[in-house]
Amino acid sequence: MTQIAITRTDSPKQPPADETLSFGKVFTDHMFLMNYDEGKGWHSPRIEPYGPFSLDPACCVLHYGQAIFDGLKAFRGPDNQIRLFRLPDHARRLNRSAHYLCI
C-alpha cells in the first residue's frame, strides 16, 4: 500500500463543539492532496495543513464542469494507526465517476 506523507499544521485549531458542526462550514486543519499525470496515474498522496491551493485557469472543471466529488474517511485506531474506511469502495466509485466523465 502507498504511504501517505503527513505534514501537520503548526497552529492546530480547537475541536469545535458538537452542536456547532455543520456541513460545509466547519473544516479540519488539514487537507488531502494527490497528483495525477498520464504516465504515473495517481501518485504522491499527502496530507498537508489546510490552505489555498493553485488551480490553472484552463482547468476543465472551470470550463466544462468536469469534476468528481467523493469523500474518503480515515480513522485512528486504538493502536494509534490510521485506517482508511472502505478504500476499495472509494476507488471503485472514483474510477466509475471518472469513466462517466471520460476523464
Q: Indicate the pTM of the whole model.
A: 0.55
Give mean pLDDT, residues 77-83.
91
Cα angle 8, 13, 17 (rounded to 5 degrees) comes to: 135
Task: Record the cell numbers describing residue 77, joined without a space.
Answer: 485506531
| β-strands 5-6, 41-49 pairing | parallel
- The three cell numbers locating residue 38: 498520464
Dihedral pair phi/psi, residue 14, rounded to 5°: -70, 140
pLDDT band at 1 (very low <50, low <70, confident <90, very high): low
Give the Cα separation of 40 and 36 in Å (integer): 7
